[in-house]
Amino acid sequence: MQVLFDQLMNGLTAGAEIALIAAGLSLMFGVLEIVNFAHGELYMLGAIFLYIAESSLGFPYRSAAVLSVATMLPFGALFYAVVVHRILNRGWQVQLVATLAVSVLLVNLVIVVLGAPAKLVPSPLMTTYVIGGMRISEQRILVLITAVIAFVLLFCFFRFAKLGKAMRAVAQNREAASVVGIQTERVGLAAVVASCLLAGVAGATIAPLYNVQPSMGTAVIVKAFAAVIMGGFGNVTGAIVSAVVLGLVEAFSIAYIASDYADLVVFGVMILVLVVRPQGVFGRVVRR
Amino acid sequence: MITRTARTLPLPGREVLGWGVFLVLLAFFPALTSVPYFIRTGITALMFVTLALAFDLVLGRVGALSLAQPVFFGFGAYAAALLSVRFGTSFWQEIGVAWLGAAALAVFIGIPAFRLSLHSFAIGTLGFQVSAQLVAQNWMSVTSGPMCVTAIPPVSLSWPGGSTQVISLTAQYELILLIAAIAIATTLLVTRVRLGLAFAAVRDDPLLASARGLWPNQVRLTAFILSAMLSATAGAFVAHFQTVICPDSLDISYTVALLIMVFIGGVASLRGVVSGALLFTVLPQFLRVVDQWRLVIYGALLLVIVITLPGGLEEFYRILERFVGRKLGLGRGPAGSLEGEGSSAATVPQRVVTDSSEKREARMQVPDRVSSTSHNDGKSQEHRDRGGQGISQDGPRGQLIQSFDKRRLEVRSLTKLYQGVHALQDLSFVVEPGELVGLIGPNGSGKTTAIDCVSGVQAADGGAVLFGDRSILGTPTYNLAKHGLARTFQTVRVFPMLTVEQNLLVAGLGRASHWDEWRQYLRRQDRWPVLHERSRELIALFGLQRVADTPAGHLSYGQRKLVEFAAALVIPPRVLLLDEPVAAVNPTTANVIREWILRLHSDGVSILLVEHNMEFVLGVCERLIVLDHGLKIAEGEPTAVMKDPGVQEAYFGR
C-alpha cells in the first residue's frame, strides 16, 4: 500500500513538474505560435537561480525560492526582447532552430560557469508527515500545493484579468485581436513572462527533491512536449491534464515495469495517442 | 528561408562536372600532407558532409525538421560494430544491414511522426531519438550500454577473389570520400529527377500538392528513408574509424551540429551545406584554446546566424556570383552561375505558340480545345480509361474528354459543424456530367466549406458525396485529384519556389496514377516530352511565356491566379471545383478565365463554380445553387433564382 501511495505521490510530483513546464510551452504556442525548445532550460535556470541564491548568496530556502521565481520575470522579458521578438514573424524552422540554439547556449553556459556535476540544494522542508498511515514529505506537499496555486492563478488571470482575456483573444485569432485594438506585442511579452514564471516555480520547488544540474531541462522537455502534443497544441488545460497523466504513467512504470525504460513508456504513450488522434486528446486542430 | 529556386534546366552538365572536379581534388588531399591529424580532421569533415546532406534532404528538400537523424546514424554504427565484432562481416554486408534496418526504422518512425503537423513532427522525432538513446544505454546484452562496443576491427572490403582491410588513414579517407560522393550524387540526382519536383512541391505547399494529386506524407517518407540510409552508411563507416561506439553516438548534440552546418551553409543548397559542414569541422580545430566555451560559441553562433542570415553561405555565394558575373562583363553573363540566373536556358525551340505575344496584348487568345493535342491515339486511350486511369506515364498523352465515363457528382445531406455552428446544414445538390453549376451565397454561407468537404480538404460531419456511384466522402484529396476531381483555391495557391512551368509539370506528375507516379520518380525533369509540350502550350495560351521560368512566388496576384488555373488543366479534369477564380482579378484576366471555363464546359468537363461576381456567374452558369448560413435556399435557372425573394433577402436584407 505504501509503495502504491509513494508511486502515486511520485507520479503527481513528476506530473506537476511536467505540467508547469508544459503549461508554459502551450501558452507560448497558443499566443505566439512559437514552439520553444529552450523551455526546459528556463526551468533549469529557475533551479540554478535557487542554487545560487542559497549557496552563494546565503539566503534561506523560502526567500531564495521567491527570489529565484522573481528573477525569472526580468529574465523572461530579456528572452522576449533578445530572441522571441526577433523570430515572431519568421518561418517555423527559424523559430525552432533559434530556440534550440538558446537551449544549447544556456546549458553550456551553465556548465562553463558552474560545472556539469549535479548540485544539492538544501531545503528545510525535510520532515515527513504521516497521514492515515501513509508517509509523505513536506517538500512534495509544497510542490503539489504550489502547482495547484499557480494553475488557479493562471486560470483566474485568463478569466478575470484584462491582459489574460486579451491573451485568449490573441490565441484565438491574432489578426482579429489586433484589429480590435489589442496590443499583440504586449500580450506576447506577457505570455513569455508568464511561461517563464511557471517554469521558475517548477525549478524553485522541485530542485530540492532532485539534484540541480545543467542537463535537467533537456531531460524533462521531451516529456513536456509529449504532454503539449497530447493536450492539443496551444490548449493549456489539455497540456496540464496530459502532463499529470504522463507523470503517473512514468512513476508507475518505474515501479512496475523497469526504471530504465520509464521514459520509453512515456513516449510510447505519446506516440500511441498521436497515431490515434494526431490533433491530441483534447485537441482542436491547430489553425493554419 | 529556403532561397534556392530550382530551374527547369540548371545548366545540367556544368554543375555535375564542377562537383566531379571538386571530389577528385579532395581525393588528392592525403597526398599533400603526412600529418595524420589533418587526415583525421578530413575524415570527420567528410563524415559530417554526408550527415549534413542527409539531414538537409529532409529539412531542406521536403521541409520537415527531423531530430531523429542520430537514430539512423547510431543504428548504422551499432550494426556495423556488432556485426564485425561478433561475426567478422565484410563492409558490404554491414552496409546492407544498415540500409535495410535504417529504411525499416525510417518507416517505423516516419509513419506516426508524419501524421503530426510540422512542429510536432520535430518533437515526435525528438522523442524517438531520446528513446533510441535509452535503448542503447540500457540494452546491456547487445550494446554493452555505457561500456560501449569496443575493439571494432578495421573495415574489411571483400572482393570476389579475397578481401582488403582498410587500415591506413589514407585508405579510410578515400572510403569516406566515396560515401560523401554518394551523398552529393544523391542530392544532385534529387534536384534533377521528377521526385525532386514532388519534394519541392510538398515542401512549398503540402495542401496544394495534395490537391494536385501528390500524397505529401508518401513523398516526405521517401525523403526520410533516403536520408536514413545515407546517415546509416556514414554511421557504419564511423564505427570502424573510431573503433569504439558508445550510446552518445545517438546524442542530440549531433543534431545540433548538423543544424548549425545546414544553417551556416544555407538550407536546400548543396554547395552551401557542403561548405557549411567543411567549415564547421575544420574551423573549430583552431578554436581548441577555448574548448570549454566551444558549445557556448556554437549556440550563440547558431542563434545569430539563424536570426540575421537565414540564407547562410548560399546567400553569400549568390552575391559573389553576381559580382563576378558583372566583373567578367557581358561575354559570360549570368550563365557563369551554377544556379543559372539566365532565363534563356529554358527557352526551348519546340514552343508551340511563338507569335502570340503581340496578339495577346490586344486580346487574350481564345483557348484551344482542351483535347486538341491528342486526337490521334484517342482509341487506345479510351480503352485504358475504363480502368479509371487515363494518364499515361509521360503525362496527358491522348487525354480525350469525350472518352471520360460520364459521372455525376452528387452531394447528399452534407453537414459540417464548426464547434457547434452549422457551416453546412443538410446540403444536397447534383452536378450532372458536363454541367456548369454556380454555387453562390453571401459571405460565410458555406460555399468554400462545401468545396473543401467535397474535395476532401476538410472532413464533413455527415452526409455523403458520390462520384458516379462511388462514395468519395473521406477519400483523401490526392486520390480524388488522381481520379480527375481538380480544384482551385479561393486564396490563390501556387508553389512559390517552383517556376511557372514546374508548377504545371507537378500537376502532370501528381495526376498520374500512383503506379505511374512512382515509375517516373527517377526520370529526368528536363526530358518529359509530352508534358513539356502540353505545359508550354498552356503557358502560351495563358500568355505566361515571359514568366515561364520565373518562380511563381514572384508573380503578380493575377498571374498566380492564371498559373493555378492552368495547372488544374494540365491533365484535363473530369470535375473542376473553382473557388472564386476571378476574385480580385482585372477584367482582362477575368475574361481569359471566362473563355476557358466556357471552353472546358463545351468539352464536357463538369464544373462547380463558386463566385461572388454576379455578372460573371450569370454570364456562364446553366444553373445556380444559393446558400445562406449553410442552408440551400434556392436552386434553378439563373435569372429565375435571382428573382427569388429569399435570395434577394439573403443578399440585400429585408
B535-555 per-position pLDDT tens digit: 999 999 898 999 999 999 999
- Helices assigned H by DSSP within B60-117: 69-87, 91-113
**pLDDT at residue A283, rounded to an integer:** 58
The separation between CA B305 and the C-alpha centre of its own chain, rounded to angstroms, equals: 26
The continuous run of DSSP H or E covering B570 comes out as: none
Q: Which residues of chain A have pLDDT under 70?
A: 282-288
Nearest Cα neighbor of B604 from B484, B465, B455, B466 is: B484
Name the residue among B120, B259, B295 with its Cβ closest to that of A100: B259
Q: Phi, psi (5° rounding) for residue B67?
A: -95, 10
Choose from A98-107, A256-265, B305-314, B380-389 the range with maximum mean pLDDT.
A98-107
Please report, as a single letter, which amino acid is at residue B220: R
Interface test with B, best of A82, A89, A100, A218 (most B CBs within 10 A): A100
Burial of B334 (0-12, 13-18, 19+ CB in 10 A): middle
CB-neighbour burial class of residue B37 (10 A; exposed 0-12, middle 13-18, buried 19+):
exposed
Of B59, B112, B300, the CB nearest to A271: B112
Pairing between strand B409-418 and B421-431? Answer: antiparallel
Q: What is the pLDDT of residues B322-353, one digit of tens each?
A: 898 888 764 443 333 333 333 333 332 333 33
Interaxial angle between packed helices A216-231 and A2-32, expressed in degrees from 0 to 180 and rounded to the nearest 10: 70
How many Å separate Cα A180 from the centre of its chain?
A: 31
Asked if A263's CB is within 8 angstroms of B303's CB, the reply is no
Phi, psi of B429 (to 5 degrees): -160, 170
State residue B289's pLDDT score: 62
Reading phi first (left if > 0) and then psi (alpha if -120 to 50, else beta), residue B434 is in left
pLDDT at B362 over 50: no
Name the residue among A96, A109, A222 with its Cβ closest to that of B127. Answer: A222
| pLDDT given at position B405 | 62
Q: How many residues does chain A have?
A: 288
**Amino acid B100: pLDDT:** 97
User: Quick one: average pLDDT of B648-654?
Assistant: 78
CB A178 within 8 Å of CB A161:
no
Check if the beta carbon of residue A173 is closer than 8 Å to that of residue A262: no
Of B361, B364, B51, the residue nearest B187 (C-alpha): B51
Put simply, whether B417 touches A (Cβ < 8 Å) is no
Reduce the DSSP state of residue B466 to 3 states and report it.
Answer: strand
| Closest chain A residue to B264, measured at CA | A97
Which chain A residues are Cβ-neighbours of B252 within 8 angstroms?
Answer: 218
Closest approach of chain B CAs to the CA of A221, in angstroms? Answer: 10
Question: Is B369's pLDDT higher than 80?
Answer: no
- Interface check B119 vs A, CB under 8 A: yes
Higher pLDDT, B200 or B7: B200
For residue A85, CA distances in Å to B115, B137, B588 come to 30, 39, 43
Please report the pLDDT score of residue B654 as a whole number. 64
**Whole-angstrom Cα distance, residue A54 to residue A68?**
10
Q: Regarding beta strands B462-467 and B470-471, do their DSSP bridges make them parallel or antiparallel, or are they unpaired?
A: antiparallel
Across residues B491-495, what is the average pLDDT? 92
Burial class for B637, CB neighbours closer than 10 Å (0-12, 13-18, 19+)? exposed
* Kind plus residue range of the DSSP H or E element containing B413: strand B409-418
Task: Answer yes or no: do A94 and B300 touch at CB < 8 A.
Answer: no
Task: Give the one of B115, B259, B296 whose C-beta lies nearest to A112's C-beta.
Answer: B296
Option in A97, A226, A267 nearest B259 (CB)? A97
Binary contact (A264, B306; C-beta < 8 A): no
For residue B452, what pLDDT is reported? 93
Q: At what angle do helices B252-265 and B118-138 cross, to 10 degrees?
A: 140
Interior CA angle at A128 toward A245 and A263, to 5°?
30
Looking at residues B105-109, what average pLDDT do you find?
Answer: 96
Query: Interior CA angle at B126 toward A102 and B85, to 5°?
Result: 115
CB-based contacts of B171, cutoff 8 Å, min separation 6: none
A→B contacts (Cβ < 8 Å), by residue, are 29, 35, 83, 86-87, 90-94, 96-98, 100-109, 111-112, 218, 222, 225-226, 228-229, 233, 260-261, 263-264, 267-268, 270-271, 274-275, 278, 284, 286
Write out B323-383 in H/E/C secondary structure.
Answer: HHHHHCCCCCHHHHCCCCCCHHHHCCCCCCCCCHHHHHHHCCCCCCCCCHHHCCCHHHHHH
B120 interface with A at CB cutoff 8 Å? yes
Our measurement of the distance from residue B231's CA atom to the centroid of its chain's CA atoms, rounded to an integer in Å, reads 21
Task: Measure the CA–CA gap between B637 and B639, rounded to whole angstroms.
Answer: 6
Q: Characterize the bridge pairing of strands B155-159 and B162-166.
A: antiparallel
Decide: residue B616, CB within 10 A, 0-12 exposed, 13-18 middle, 19+ buried.
buried
Q: Quote the pLDDT of residue A40.
A: 94
State the pLDDT confidence band at B363, using cuts at 50, 70 and 90.
Answer: very low
Residue type (1 letter), B531: L
pLDDT of residue B11: 52
Confidence at residue B343, expressed as pLDDT on a 0 to 100 scale? 34
- Percentage of chain B with pLDDT > 90? 50
Query: What pTM was computed for the model?
Result: 0.85
Sheet of B485-487, strand order: B485-487, B575-579, B606-610, B436-440, B623-628, B631-636
Q: Give B290's DSSP letter.
A: G
pLDDT tens per residue across span B170-217: 999 999 999 999 999 999 999 999 999 999 999 999 999 999 999 999
Tens of pLDDT, residue by residue over B599-634, are 999 988 999 999 888 888 988 999 999 999 888 998
Mutate to test the interface with B, among A104, A264, A284 (most CBs of B within 10 A): A104
Whether the Cβ atoms of residue B565 and residue B581 lie closer than 8 Å to each other: yes
Residues 306-365 of B with CB under 8 A from A: 306-307, 310
Q: Please say if the pLDDT value at position B483 is more than 70.
A: yes
Q: Pick A274's closest partner by Cβ from B63, B115, B296.
A: B115
Q: Could you tell me the three cell numbers for B56?
A: 538537409
pLDDT at B9 over 90: no
Q: Tell me which of A98-107, B269-278, B357-366 is least confident.
A: B357-366
pLDDT range class, residue B288, cuts 50, 70, 90: low
